[in-house]
Structure 1
């Protein structure tokens, strides 16, 4: 039995080696180091404050310009009070009327009353042409002389149209002869012009003026070759457009007095020609 009071002798116990020959793991700690924050290289960078400020300023500028332009249009409308000229068929006489199975010959003498009711705007008419139709079928046309109307004035516009053997379908000729047996024939008259409105140094863009005089009655019997306008003056419908129409079908007026709408012309055509401004 060994004496417990004697000191221990011999070699110390060998150190523990990792079974695969590597170094032993370091002593464990709860938080060995701070994990790096995840970064996605595909994520777009945030917008800069300068780009947002530019967009807001641009949008505010566009809104202000739209408001200012609208106010200018309203003020111009209130000051000028524009309206389209008024056309009326004052007289119409028909002569040398003859028909065959597929053709028509005749001469129309028309007189229009053109009234410019604007207090502050004059009207100039150029490239005038007048046409006659029957049941939407073209018969004849004539070119008219240009003219100018001052404010609140009335002008008489004369036109003579001649058709010599104008082709019409047999059914159209039959319809015309049927109307002649009833004592009157309904013709449609159209006037097209290049018109421009002016008020002092303000000049509006040139627009196409279209005048439609629908179902104008001419008293003519089966055996007669001439006739006159029946029922007094016939008022016409006036409107503006951009392209000269082929007029396959005229629009019907819902009333005897067709209203005119000038405000669309003003909104679309307000234009100042700087060369005409006088200071």
Structure 2
């Protein structure tokens, strides 16, 4: 006796459901496209940190026997804004010079300024040294290194910055640029340390 086979039944979706599915697919596609566009815009407008390069530094007459107190400390650092469409507002820039961990000079070196996209500004100033002096514990080592023609120092620049995208400003960020270098016995910057990039901290 032949078996009875039941043919599968197919239910066609109603026009309303098909229309709803189509609208959902279009909406998801638009959301995906909008997400890609926003991601590309974020990549193009994401602020890049400024770059600092030590161009010159000197402490004239650093080899005098009475110590470095009150000697002029001259510095020059180039600041570069690598952003193509984002400007940077800098508050006043303060400089500090260290011999090991001993602070030997500090003070303001640059007034507030605005750095346009792809711009460069020379941050330069002159501080007055507070030491080392012959009464300081570090004097003997400092004088010995001066006599040898190689003294390791650090220049630290501190400021507060804001990034500007057209009419919109970001929140303020504290910035610190740390530049390590050596000076010779006459107080001038070693040639190999010219145009070296400083380490930047945000």
Same fold flag (TM > 0.5)? yes
Give the gaps of 5 or more residues in structure 2: 1-34
Deviations 1:81-127, CA, capped at 9 Å, x for gaps: 32110001101121142455xx6423211111110000111001112
Equivalent of 1:136 in 74, 97, 101 = 101
Equivalent of 1:174 in 128, 134, 140 = 140
Instruction: Give the TM-score normalised by structure 2.
Output: 0.72
Give the gaps of 5 or more residues in structure 1: 1-69, 221-225, 241-279
Give the SS at the match of 2:60: strand
Aligned mates of 2:38, 2:104 — CA distance in 1:
42
Cα offset, 1:164, TM superposition: 4.2
Q: How many residues align?
A: 163
Cα offset, 1:202, TM superposition: 2.5
Quick check: 1:237 aligned with 2:169? no
Equivalent of 1:202 in 136, 147, 168 = 168
Instruction: Give the TM-score normalised by structure 1.
Output: 0.53
Runs of 4+, deviation exceeding 3 Å: 70-77, 164-171
The answer on whether the counterparts of 2:61 and 2:187 sit within 8 Å (CA) in structure 1 is no
Higher relative CO (CA 8 A, sep ≥ 6), structure 1 or 2? 2
Larger radius of gyration: 1
Task: State the match for 1:154 in structure 2.
Answer: 120
Equivalent of 2:80 in 115, 129, 133 = 115
Higher mean alpha-carbon deviation, 154-163 vs 170-179, is at 170-179
Over aligned residue pairs, what C-alpha RMSD do you find?
2.5
Cα offset, 1:72, TM superposition: 10
Deviations 1:21-80, CA, capped at 9 Å, x for gaps: xxxxxxxxxxxxxxxxxxxxxxxxxxxxxxxxxxxxxxxxxxxxxxxxx99995553131
